[in-house]
C-alpha cells in the first residue's frame, strides 16, 4: 500500500453495547432516550456516529420485517444518527446474566448459524448504514472460536461471509465489510496470527470485504505495540475497518476485581524481558508465576484517567500516534480498487453498568465511561473522582 500523507477526518463514535437491550422492543427506548440524550449533549449540530449491537432476535426480526427496517432507517435519518457499524459479535443476550464463553457461540465451525447471522447482518448494514461521513461500513464478528479450534476449521465459513459481502456490494452498490475481531483466547488473537490467516486463506479478491476490527484493549492485553501492529497489517495488505477504543486493566501485582462480573477477565502476564509467562481465559485459579512482573486484564474500563490501574497511558500514546499511521492517512491498497475511506474510532465501554451499578442512567452522561476527543484522551478529574467514588466499594472483592 502507498500513502499520500494527507490525514483523514476523525469519525469518533460510540458503541451501543453499553446498553442492556436484546430485542427490538428493548432497543427502541434506548434509542429514543439514552442515545438521543447523548447526541444532544455531544453532537447537537452534527451526525452522531453509532455502532449498533445486534443480537440473534434483533437480526431475525429485522430480516423478516422490512417495514421495521424502514422505520429504523427513518429514525436514524430524522435524528441525525449515523450508523457506521454493526456489532454482530454476540448473538445471545449480552447483559443481565453471565455470558462468559457464550459470547463466541454459535461458533464458526460448528454449523451454519454464525455464517447466516453474519450474512443477514451485512444485508441489514447495506440497508441501514450511513456512508455520509466517509467511513468504512462494517459488521464486527469473532475472529474464530476458542482455541484449540484451528484456522483450517474456521476459514471456510469466514471466506463464505466475505464472498457474501462482495455479492451484496455488486448487487446493491453498498460497500459493507466483515470486521474480524481478534480477542485473547480465540483462534486468531495476535497480530502475527492475523497475518498468518490472511496469507494462508484470504485471496486478493476478498481482501476488500474481509477486514480486521482492531480492538485496542484486546491487543494491549497481548502486550502488543498497537501502532506497530497496524503497520504490520498495512504492510501485508490487510484492511482495518474499525478501531474499538477501549482500555484494559494493568497492574504489577495481580489483584482480582469485579469477580462477580458476567464477562471474562482474560489475563496475560509478562516477565521482565517482555515474554508472556501467563495466560488465563478468566481469573487464574492459581497464583501467577513468580517471574511475572506486569499483568493486563481484558475488561473495558473507562477511557479516561482514573485511580483504577489501567493501560490508559498506552491508550493515549496509541491515539496520539494514530494520525501518522497509514490507516489514518489517505491510502490505496495494491489489491483494492476502492477509494480511500476513513477508519472510524468507536469507543467501547460495555462493562460500564457492571462498574457503576444498574441505577446509573447512561443518557445523562457525556459518553458512558469516556473522555476522548478525536485522537486525544482528555484529563477529566471531576468524572474520574465520581467514578472512583462509585467503584471504590466494588473494585476489589
What average pLDDT score do residues 193-201 get?
Answer: 98
Over the stretch 337-353, which tens digit does the pLDDT of each residue have? 555 578 999 999 888 77
Q: Using omega within 30 degrees of 0 as the cis cutoff, is the peptide bond preceding 106 cis? A: yes
pLDDT digits (tens, 9 = 90+) for 266-315: 999 999 999 999 999 999 999 999 999 999 999 988 888 777 899 999 99
Decide: helix, strand or coil at residue 308.
Answer: coil
How far apart are alpha carbons 47 and 245 in whole angstroms?
19
Q: What is the pLDDT of residue 349?
A: 87
pLDDT value for 261 = 87
CB count within 10 Å of CB 64 equals 9
In this prediction, residue 381 carries a pLDDT of: 41
Domains of the chain: 2-247+300-391 (3.20.20.150)
pTM summary value: 0.91
Grid coordinates of 309 = 490501574
Burial 350-373 (b: 16+ CB within 10 A, else e): bbbbbbbeeeeebbebebbbbbbe
Read off the pLDDT of each residue in 102-111 and give the average, rounded to a whole number.
97
Give the residue-averaged pLDDT of 124-147. 95
Q: Is residue 191 over pLDDT 80?
A: yes
Amino acid at each position: 500500500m502507498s500513502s499520500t500523507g494527507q490525514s483523514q477526518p476523525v469519525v469518533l463514535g460510540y458503541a451501543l453495547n453499553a446498553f442492556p437491550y436484546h430485542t427490538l422492543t428493548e432497543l427502541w427506548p434506548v434509542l429514543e432516550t439514552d442515545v438521543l440524550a447523548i447526541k444532544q449533549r455531544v453532537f447537537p449540530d452534527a451526525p452522531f456516529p453509532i455502532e449498533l449491537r445486534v443480537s440473534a432476535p434483533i437480526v431475525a426480526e429485522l430480516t423478516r420485517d422490512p417495514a421495521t427496517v424502514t422505520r429504523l432507517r427513518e429514525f436514524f435519518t430524522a435524528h441525525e444518527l449515523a450508523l457506521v457499524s454493526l456489532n454482530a459479535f454476540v448473538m445471545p443476550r449480552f447483559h443481565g446474566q453471565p455470558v462468559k464463553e457464550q459470547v463466541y457461540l454459535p461458533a464458526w465451525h460448528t454449523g451454519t448459524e454464525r455464517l447466516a447471522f453474519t450474512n443477514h447482518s451485512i444485508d441489514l448494514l447495506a440497508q441501514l448504514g450511513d456512508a455520509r461521513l466517509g467511513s468504512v461500513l462494517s459488521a464486527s464478528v469473532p475472529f474464530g472460536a476458542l482455541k484449540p479450534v484451528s484456522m483450517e476449521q474456521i476459514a471456510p465459513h469466514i471466506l463464505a461471509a466475505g464472498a457474501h459481502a462482495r455479492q451484496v456490494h455488486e448487487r446493491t452498490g453498498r460497500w459493507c465489510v466483515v470486521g474480524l475481531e481478534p480477542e485473547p483466547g480465540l483462534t486468531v488473537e495476535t497480530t502475527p496470527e492475523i497475518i498468518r490467516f490472511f496469507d494462508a486463506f484470504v485471496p486478493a479478491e476478498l481482501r476488500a470485504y474481509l477486514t480486521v476490527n482492531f480492538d485496542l484493549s484486546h491487543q494491549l492485553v497481548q502486550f502488543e505495540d498497537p501502532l506497530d501492529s497496524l503497520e504490520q497489517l498495512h504492510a501485508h495488505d490487510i484492511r482495518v475497518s474499525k478501531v474499538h477504543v477501549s482500555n484494559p486493566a494493568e497492574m504489577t501485582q495481580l489483584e482480582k476485581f469485579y469477580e462477580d462480573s458476567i464477562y471474562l477477565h482474560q489475563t496475560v502476564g509478562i516477565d521482565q524481558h517482555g515474554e508472556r509467562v501467563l495466560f488465563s481465559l478468566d481469573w487464574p485459579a492459581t497464583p501467577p508465576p513468580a517471574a511475572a512482573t506486569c499483568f493486563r486484564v481484558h475488561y473495558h474500563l473507562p477511557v479516561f484517567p482514573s485511580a483504577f490501574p489501567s493501560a490508559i497511558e498506552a491508550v493515549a500514546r496509541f491515539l496520539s500516534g494514530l494520525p501518522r499511521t497509514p490507516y489514518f492517512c489517505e491510502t490505496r491498497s495494491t489489491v483494492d480498487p476502492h477509494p480511500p475511506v476513513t477508519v472510524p474510532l468507536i469507543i467501547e465501554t460495555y462493562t460500564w453498568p457492571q462498574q457503576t451499578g444498574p441505577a446509573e442512567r447512561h443518557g445523562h452522561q457525556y459518553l458512558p465511561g469516556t473522555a476522548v476527543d478525536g485522537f486525544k484522551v482528555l484529563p477529566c478529574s471531576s468524572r474520574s473522582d465520581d467514578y472512583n467514588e462509585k467503584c471504590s466499594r466494588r473494585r476489589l472483592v
